Amino acid sequence: MYQVIQTGVSRCGVSRPRLTCNDSTFHPVLNLAEHLKISQHDDNNPRILITGGLGQLGLGLASELRQKYGKNNVILSDIIKPNKEIVDNGPYIYADILDFKNLQELIVNHRIDWMIHFSALLSAIGESNVPLAMRVNIEGMHNVMELAKQYKLKLFVPSTIGAFGPTSPRNPTPDLTIQRPQTIYGVSKVHAELMGEYYHHRFGLDFRCLRFPGIISAGTEPGGGTTDYACQIFHDALTTGHHVCFLREDSRLPMMYIDDCLRSVMEILEVPAEKLKLRTYNIHAMSFTPAEIYAAVKKVIPSLTIEYKPDSRQGIADTWPMVFDDSGARKDWGWNHEIDIDELVKIMLTYLAPKYGKTLPF
């Protein structure tokens, strides 16, 4: 009845075995009680499926959407076993984006209206396993887009500053310009943008996409990415008092605090279609250099010191936008960020200080 197959992709880019069953009603995580719970939804609100939902953005967005549209109307999915807190907070189901039939069943059985597609392998993992990145980031996106077309879903797919390359204008980078990224992650995002626009014009798909800058969150540990110094400096300020930065002091990159990021997704999902002149928009809050964020943190923690040791990530940063021109989003649907660099510093230090047993002067 059951067989073990290697299709699930972990956050580390390693295939995981999973059980499948020839009974299409079986789900490894979702039991009968959970099925009944999901069925008790509010028909006045959209039914939303989030793929890749156990990442930084998925969990935060699910929380916001559940507050607005109802706990049982927002279904998180991923290939990772959830902890008890995640299951208690709302519906969670196993979903492999490479399994077209399973996704199809989920959409039909749970009467999905909107799909938010976060499943992807990021830059570093993608470069270490390009064939896997192509399957997950491109084939998986094709599955989601085709199903959104077939069932007339509203589809949101995020993009990134990594969708630009060294020949793109960097300061500022407009919505429509040259895009020649040099990573498989960036290439897959440009592909998603263009396919979404094609499906919109060819088939009427309600495709919506935002290009995110570096996202800063106090609730997520830095992972060594090109923009992660902007998180790590806060941890270092509260622990060692010394930050070693892997970028040059003058390396300007666009950034955004996660609360603004999540709000931008909520807003773009709710904008009437007739207001959208584009299907992919830049989204922006602030741009700063390592020297500028260091100066802002040092105002609160004067003892903080910094050392600059650029590594291979400097080469990536030098090809990315320095400033995002998001005037299109601000004009077309009223986007406006709320958190600037000084507020960012206050939020991050206030959140992290108790973790390290520190007190701060605010």
Distance CA 69, CA 71 (A): 7
Mean pLDDT for the stretch of residues 134-145: 97
SS3 of residue 191 by DSSP = helix
In a domain, 123, yes or no: yes
Pairing label, strands 206-212, 280-282: parallel
Q: What is the pLDDT at residue 85? A: 95
> Look-up: residue for tokens 């603004």?
260
Q: How confident is the model at residue 7 (pLDDT cuts 50, 70, 90)?
A: very low
Tell me the per-residue pLDDT of 153-186, one tens digit each, with 9 for 90 and over: 999 999 999 999 999 999 999 999 999 999 899 9
CB 79 within 8 A of CB 9: yes
Contacts for 116 with CB less than 8 Å, ≥ 6 apart: 48, 49, 50, 51, 58, 61, 156, 265, 269
SS3 of residue 231 by DSSP = helix
Q: How confident is the model at residue 279 (pLDDT cuts 50, 70, 90)?
A: very high
Mean pLDDT for the stretch of residues 89-117: 97
Distance CA 179, CA 162 (A): 9
Tell me the per-residue pLDDT of 121-133, one tens digit each, with 9 for 90 and over: 877 778 889 999 9
DSSP string, 64-122: HHHHHH-GGGEEEEESSPP-HHHHHHS-EEE--TT-HHHHHHHHHHTT--EEEE-----
In a domain, 224, yes or no: no
pLDDT at 35 over 60: no
DSSP string, 259-312: HHHHHHHHHHHHS-GGG-S-SEEE--SEEE-HHHHHHHHHTT-TT-EEEE---T
Q: What is the pLDDT at residue 92? A: 97
In a domain, 25, yes or no: yes
Rounded to 5 degrees, what are φ and ψ at 146?
-65, -40
Contacts for 31 with CB less than 8 Å, ≥ 6 apart: none
Distance CA 362, CA 350 (A): 8
Q: How confident is the model at residue 5 (pLDDT cuts 50, 70, 90)?
A: very low
Q: What is the pLDDT at residue 155? A: 98
In a domain, 243, yes or no: no
Q: What is the pLDDT at residue 132? A: 93
Q: What is the pLDDT at residue 22? A: 36
Q: What is the pLDDT at residue 360? A: 87
Q: How confident is the model at residue 56 (pLDDT cuts 50, 70, 90)?
A: confident
Full domain range(s) for residue 8: 2-214+258-285+327-336
Asked about 229 being catalytic, the answer comes back as no
CB 103 within 8 A of CB 7: no
Of 92, 94, 185, 281, which residue is the catalytic one?
A: 185
Mean pLDDT for the stretch of residues 293-308: 97
In a domain, 102, yes or no: yes
Mean pLDDT for the stretch of residues 206-219: 95
Distance CA 58, CA 95 (A): 14
Mean pLDDT for the stretch of residues 308-312: 95
Percent of the chain with pLDDT over 70: 88
pLDDT at 38 over 80: no
Residue 17, both tokens = 């075995």
The CATH number given to whatever domain includes residue 58 is: 3.40.50.720
CB 169 within 8 A of CB 161: no
The amino acid that residue 287 corresponds to is S
pLDDT at 15 over 50: no
Q: How many domains in the chain? A: 1
In a domain, 270, yes or no: yes
pTM: 0.86
In a domain, 144, yes or no: yes
In a domain, 301, yes or no: no
